[in-house]
Structure 1
């Protein structure tokens, strides 16, 4: 069976109880290739040393989650409330951290429009992304817009499909703006495999976890332990031309069996094994077609 190579990254959201330094040391020791950095875990007094520790550990940076990553306020990050203040905060994150992560996508999403005006939110975010794209390009990084699951509409996001995100990206009209494709968020989109193909080279980062009907706002599972058709999604993503790291991003709050309460080293190991199994399975149909 052909299986090819993939790079696996772990988002620091997946191991929220750990510190930044613990994330770096343990990801590297557990055979992970890359890290999705969560800015909120950085220590303002030693950012340079922390970023150097990533390189020293042999990890690459797959993406960066700014402290303020939505243009409108959101449940996860409600402050500051104003659009201008939030845009300024995101710009500050880019200007402060881009030097440590050349070519890396900074993850963004719309946030929740205060009046539920999704059409206006798409217009405003497209304009703001177009403005910030020039800042990102000047600093050698990218902006990746993430559509969220419908459960987050008017809570965290105004968009929930790949095609909606692509519409905003096209309006932003800058090559530094692309798509953050999170399987947990988009797997229930109509014609999702075709939408992934439509996104093509616009896909700047891919995030994976697994699904059960949520018990809270943050209830994701280790890849391979839920209902997502991971192999199909990976196959479509690979066919679209994506060749960057795949990021396991798990949130697990306010549930009785939270992954955050488990042995997190085992969780990371399970994530690596679960994604690898889905990756191998994504080649099965291709191999059968080749042998037919």
Structure 2
């Protein structure tokens, strides 16, 4: 398989029906360079060996999705309920996995305030990110805050724009807290390319998929199969100097044509082809 002019990553959410071991064993053969680790897929009795197996398979780590990754509860992760307990869970994830992923961002988002108080949620999350930013720095990793799509407001998240995320990041006071830029979530932001430019070097990881009007709370499709202007977003992101992995993250739940029911090797290959095509169109435009 020919090499790409960028580092191509796959989130383990994209191949959710596979086990962690299957992901690691198959990704490199499918042209994947980097893996976004989903902690929930790790076996607690052998997670250290599993994390070491990533490099043995010729893969790098683009980011880590902690088992509990929001400060407030969310539809995907309703428990535990309290902010302090959830923050402790995030800290434990950093402490147990950071040694296997130096320099890698741990991805988080706000969760949904139980009373819908988005302003308070942003304040609380900024404070907690400041605390965790120090923990991350001590362990040689970073934290990336992800604004979610407006379809997730007060369900999964209190923020849905790049600028809201940047406000929280700034309020955290930590240089080790940055942005997870997920194109599916932010492509409809007003003047999105200017917002990406404002994010600059605070972009710690990039995720991509494609958009059709959702048929469930998690209905993403292969890059190139929808309406997101991927080439333009790639161009705007590269202009910031971003040179880390470009990760495809797909959720495909509760839809009759779920990608999780397809041949996942074909899905991964199509994701690679879709990102390569968007990259080529960006280069041609440039």
Interval of TM-score (by shorter of Structure 1 and Structure 2): over 0.9
CA deviation after TM superposition for structure 1 residue 29, in Å: 1.1
The whole-number CA distance in structure 1 between the counterparts of 2:231 and 2:285 is 10
State the partner residue of 1:239.
Answer: 239
The whole-number CA distance in structure 2 between the counterparts of 1:19 and 1:95 is 23
Matched, 1:268 2:268: yes
State the partner residue of 1:160.
Answer: 160
The whole-number CA distance in structure 1 between the counterparts of 2:204 and 2:229 is 21
CA deviation after TM superposition for structure 1 residue 285, in Å: 2.0
The whole-number CA distance in structure 1 between the counterparts of 2:110 and 2:130 is 13
SS at match of 2:213: coil
The whole-number CA distance in structure 1 between the counterparts of 2:52 and 2:179 is 27
The whole-number CA distance in structure 2 between the counterparts of 1:136 and 1:16 is 27
State the partner residue of 1:289.
Answer: none
The whole-number CA distance in structure 1 between the counterparts of 2:188 and 2:132 is 30
* Structure 1 residues 95-134: aligned runs within 5 Å: 95-134=95-134
* 1:123-146 deviation line (CA, Å, top 9, x unaligned): 000000000100000000000000
State the partner residue of 1:141.
Answer: 141
The whole-number CA distance in structure 2 between the counterparts of 1:29 and 1:285 is 31
State the partner residue of 2:24.
Answer: 24
* Structure 1 residues 188-207: aligned runs within 5 Å: 188-207=188-207
CA deviation after TM superposition for structure 1 residue 31, in Å: 1.4
TM-score (norm 2): 0.98
The whole-number CA distance in structure 2 between the counterparts of 1:240 and 1:139 is 26
Matched, 1:78 2:78: yes
TM-score (norm 1): 0.96
CA deviation after TM superposition for structure 1 residue 110, in Å: 0.2
Unmatched runs of 5 consecutive residues or more in structure 1: 287-292
CA deviation after TM superposition for structure 1 residue 47, in Å: 1.0
CA deviation after TM superposition for structure 1 residue 284, in Å: 1.8
State the partner residue of 1:59.
Answer: 59
The whole-number CA distance in structure 1 between the counterparts of 2:285 and 2:253 is 36
Unmatched runs of 5 consecutive residues or more in structure 2: none
The whole-number CA distance in structure 1 between the counterparts of 2:170 and 2:206 is 19
CA deviation after TM superposition for structure 1 residue 200, in Å: 0.4
CA deviation after TM superposition for structure 1 residue 28, in Å: 1.0
State the partner residue of 1:48.
Answer: 48
The whole-number CA distance in structure 2 between the counterparts of 1:5 and 1:168 is 33
**Pairwise CA RMSD of aligned residues?**
1.0
CA deviation after TM superposition for structure 1 residue 49, in Å: 1.0
SS at match of 2:13: helix
CA deviation after TM superposition for structure 1 residue 5, in Å: 1.8
* 1:20-45 deviation line (CA, Å, top 9, x unaligned): 00000110111110000000000011
The whole-number CA distance in structure 2 between the counterparts of 1:120 and 1:284 is 45
The number of residues matched between the two structures is 284
Structure 1 outlier segments of 4+, above 6 Å: none
CA deviation after TM superposition for structure 1 residue 48, in Å: 1.4
CA deviation after TM superposition for structure 1 residue 223, in Å: 0.3
The whole-number CA distance in structure 2 between the counterparts of 1:194 and 1:229 is 14
